[in-house]
Amino acid sequence: MTAGFQLDALDLAALLCSRVCHDVINPVGAIVNGLEVLEDEDDASMKTFALDLIKKSARTASARLQFARIAFGAAGSAGASIDLGDAENVARGFIQDEKVTLNWTAPRLFMPKNKVKLLLNLLVVAGSTIPRGGTISAKVMGEAEAPTFEIVALGTNSRIPQGLTGLLAGEPENGSLDSHVIQPYFAGLIARAAGMDVKVEAIDGGSRLTATTA
């Protein structure tokens, strides 16, 4: 089913670029700050602190770019498949930190590109329901061509963002989009391209996202 709301391709590209820049600007800024400390400080402890900051921030920036390459980018030619093991690696790098723990249960197999992109994007959507952190559990079931995804996010003060269901369905609540909400809208586009239906529901202590083959 085609959504009634239509977004210009140039606007979609611009908003996704803004989203990716938002994800990497903080760690890149921290790298710059760390380099400035190395240049200006003579204190050994401050230099050690700056080096640790640079190393941590560089890893974070790299992880976020690797994730974006698959979740938002082409990541291969048309019709390409992606190894779920690679998807797990980039998902852990992007999501798992001191606030969020990722549990991943999936067979090691190659899956059509758009289905893997959807899985990764749904992990980001799940993360938006636990703003204070918690646990995200992702499970992939079924065959590569007709899988089922189940993602459960549990955390303190979990809530489903207003308008999320409409964004996934391709119908923004106020009829417009910005970089703050483009990601779930894009997830809906990927779902329809992959021939999958997405359902979001509140559960005790969190939320559950399910994607099934249409």
Residue 26 within a domain: no
Residue 103 within a domain: yes
Residue 59 within a domain: no
**Residue 79: how many CB atoms within 10 A of its CB?**
8
Residue 154 within a domain: yes
Residue 70 within a domain: no
Q: How far apart are CA 22 and CA 27, in angstroms?
A: 10
pTM for the full predicted model: 0.91
- Each residue of 115-134: pLDDT tens digit? 999 999 999 999 999 999 99
Residue 195 within a domain: yes
Tally of domains in the chain: 1
User: Which residues constitute the domain of residue 154?
Assistant: 9-19+78-213
- Each residue of 52-97: pLDDT tens digit? 999 999 999 999 999 999 999 876 555 689 999 999 999 999 998 8
Residue 61 within a domain: no
Could you tell me how many residues make up the chain? 214
- For 139, the token pair is 């499970």
Residue 71 within a domain: no
Tell me, what CATH number does 130's domain have? 3.30.565.10
112 in Cβ contact with 81 (< 8 Å): yes
